[in-house]
Amino acid sequence: MRKIGDASFFRIVDRLLEPGTTRVPRTAWSVEGVEWQRERHSYAGASHGFTVEVTTGRKTGIAPWTMIVVKEYWRSGRGDELKSHQWAHIEAGRRADVVAWLERQERRLEDA
């Protein structure tokens, strides 16, 4: 992984943040010492609609950190996809600690 927010970052994050096997995404779960919480905000109108999904990861204890991952999905009033955008931000802690944790998760997922 080169940096927070690049394609390899989101490949790892997407696997960690998968909603599970049900149609309703999980709103809270834990992965290897990091507590995750997901919030969804949606709007549907005649000309457009959107969904913004904000997922926050918090690691406590030694070397704590907090990271948010935001995904936006925009649709036309007919339901056609207009644009999708995603970004991430480390709110607290050291970038190196977040990257090290993600790289450990990447290795764990590859071994699974």
Q: How far apart are the first and last CA of the chain?
A: 19
pLDDT on residue 54: 94
The one-letter amino acid at 82: L
DSSP-assigned letters across all residues of the chain = --STTSHHHHHHHHHHT---SSSSPPSEEEETTEEEEEEEEEEE-SSEEEEEEEEEEEE-SSS-EEEEEEEEEEEETTS-EEEEEEEEEEEES-HHHHHHHHHHHHHHHHH-
Q: What are the domain boundaries of the chain?
A: 7-18+39-111
Task: Report how far residue 83's alpha carbon sits from residue 71's, in angstroms, rounded to the nearest whole number.
Answer: 11
What would the pLDDT profile of 31-75 be if each residue is shown by its tens digit? Answer: 999 999 999 999 999 999 999 999 999 999 999 999 999 999 999
Question: What's the pTM?
Answer: 0.84
